Structure 1
C-alpha cells in the first residue's frame, strides 16, 4: 500500500528550471543535439585560487562538521564583504551560512510564516519564491511588474499589495529572469512605502549582485534605506559571481533574532554546510576579486552577441538586460502564428516547445516565472552555443506563418 503523502508535497510544483534541465539531458542522452539556453549557472570553471583553498582545507584535515551558522572564518569573510562592497556592518550573530542561498530562503520562511501570512512576490520572479512560501503555509501575493515599468515593482504597486497580513516582501535585484536592476531612486521610493508598514519584513535576494553591465550598479535596499536594516534579511552567495554553483554555499545577514531561528532549523536539517566548501567560499570572498570582473566581461560579450543575433527576429521583442545572465523577450508577436506542421502557437509554452522541436534549442516559458508571453534565455553558457542557438531560433521564427 502506497504511503499517503503530505498535502504540502502533493501541491508543490517541481522547479521549472530543474525540470527543463532534466528534459535537455534526457534528449541529449537519446542522441539529440540540443542547445541548452535554460542554464541557470555560469559555464565557467571555479577560479584556481578558490579551488586551491579547498585542497588546502582537505590537506589540513578541515573535513569535519562545523557549527550550524558557519565557520568563523567564512562568517568573518562575509562581514568584511558586506562592509567592503555594500558599506553595511553586521556582527557574527547576524550572519548565517547555508547549503546554497535557496536553503536560507527556505529556512527564513520556515522560521517566520504562519497560516495566513502573505508574501509579496513581484512578477516576473524566480520560480521558487511562491512555492517555498506556500510549503510553509504562507500565501504568495503576486504583483505584476510589466515591461513598461522595466519589470520592476513600483511604490504604487507595493502600497496596493500590502495588507495587515503581509509578512514579507521579496525583492530580487538583479532579477532572474528579467535582468532588471533597481536604481537607488527606485529603492528609496519602495523604502518610503515600507516605512508606512512597519509590520512588513524585506528579503533581498542579491545573488546576481556583481553581474551588471554598461555602468549599472546593483544597490542593496539597505544601502539606500539604512533605517530598514532591522527588518531586512539579505540573501546572497558565491554561486553566480564566482562560478561555484556546485559548491553549494549561500549566506544571509539580518537581525539576530531571525538568524538565531534559522540557525536552529539548520541544526535540525543539514547540520551545517560542507567544511571544504566553506573554506573555498571564504577564499572567494576575501581573495582577489579580479575573477569577478573577468567573468562579468565574458557575460557582457555573450549578452551583446545574443542581442545582435536576436534583435529584429520576427515576433520577438528583445531588450538588453542590465544584470544577471538572462534575456526575457516578449513573444506576443508569435502567439497565433502557425508552425510548418500546422500547429497554432497559443502560449509562450507552445513557443518554447516549438523551438525545442524545430530549432533543437531549449528555453523556458515565461509562465514559469509568473509573466506571459515571454521566454527566458540564458547567456550563461558558451559563446558557440549562444551563436548556434540564437541563429536557430531566428530561423524557426522566420518559418512561422
Structure 2
C-alpha cells in the first residue's frame, strides 16, 4: 500500500509570549505526518511517517510517498488510513496538531484511488476507531462544490490545452519546491461545440469589485483576522500573493489574450486563477494588450507597488519565470505536438505560435537578466492605461 502525502493548507496557531500576551511571537517550527493503517479490528503493520518540513503561515508541503508492508489484497473492507500532523517547535513540547481519517473503500466496496482533499480535525491526533471521530472526507455541501458545468456552443479543446499546460507548469514549479497555490480544474470537450468544465467555487473579480469595492473587503469577510495584515488571515493573503504571481507568469508565457475581470476568479481562500482561454499565443481581440493582466485592483490588494507583499509577489514571479525557462524544451515540444490539430490559434501557423512562446521565455538571457526583465514586465502591465479603458468599455458593452 502506497500513499502520497502532498501538503496541508491553512493557518497555524499563533503562540503568545507569557510575559506579553497581547503580542504574538512567531517561532520557527517543523511539521511531519504520521500515517497508521488500520481496520475495525486492529492496527495493520507499523506506522510510517514523513520527514520534517518547514511550516509557513499558509501551511506545509511534503510531497512524500509513504509505503506500508501490507498488500492491497489483504485489506479488509473496513480498512482506513489515519493521518496525524505533528508539530515540533523550539521551546514547546512536540504535539499532535491535527488529524484526519480516510476510508480505503467506498460504500460499494470499491478501492478509492486518485487525489483526496481531507479536512483536518484540531487539536489532537487522528482517530483510527470504527467509525472514526475524525472523518477526513468533506461533505459535498460543505465544500460548496457541485457537479461539472455543461457548456454548449463553445469549443473547449483550446481551453483543455491551456489548463493542461498550466497543470504541467505547476508540477514543474513544485518539483523545485515552489508552490504558488495554482488552482487546477478539469476541462473535457465532448465535441467541437460542447463540453464539461469542473466547477470551482469562486467569484469573478468584476462581480466582486462591484459588490465589495475592493479585494481586501471581500477576503476580510471570507477570512477575517483582526491581528493579520489588512485584517486578513495571513495564509489567505499569502495564497493571493502566490497565485497572482503564478497567474501572471503562466498566462504571459502562453500568450493568453482577452483578459478582463470576468475572466479572473478569486476563491474564498485567496487563490486567484484565470478561465476562458479563447485567445492564446499572442492573439487578442483588444488593441494594445499588456504583457499580462495585472490591474490596479490587484496591485492595491497587494498593498501597492511599494509594499512588502508586492515585492514578495514580484520575487515569486521572477523565480517561477526562471524555473519554467529551464523546461522550455518540454513546453515548446508539447505545443509542437499540437501542430496538426485544428485549434484555431495553432493551426493557422504552428511555427509562428511556437516562436512566440520561445520569444517570451527569453532564453538569450541569464537568470538575473531574466528576473529584471520580468520585473519590468510587471511594472509595465500594472501601469498600462489601455487595459483600464478596455475594461470600462467591456462593462458598458455588457450593460447595454
Query: Greater strand share, 1 or 2?
Result: 2
Q: What's the TM-score bracket when you normalise by the shorter of the two chains?
A: under 0.3
TM-score w.r.t. the length of structure 1 is 0.26
Task: Tell me which structure has the larger Cα radius of gyration.
Answer: 2
TM-score w.r.t. the length of structure 2 is 0.26
Query: Greater helix share, 1 or 2?
Result: 1
Q: Which has the higher contact order (CA 8 A, sep 6+)?
A: 1
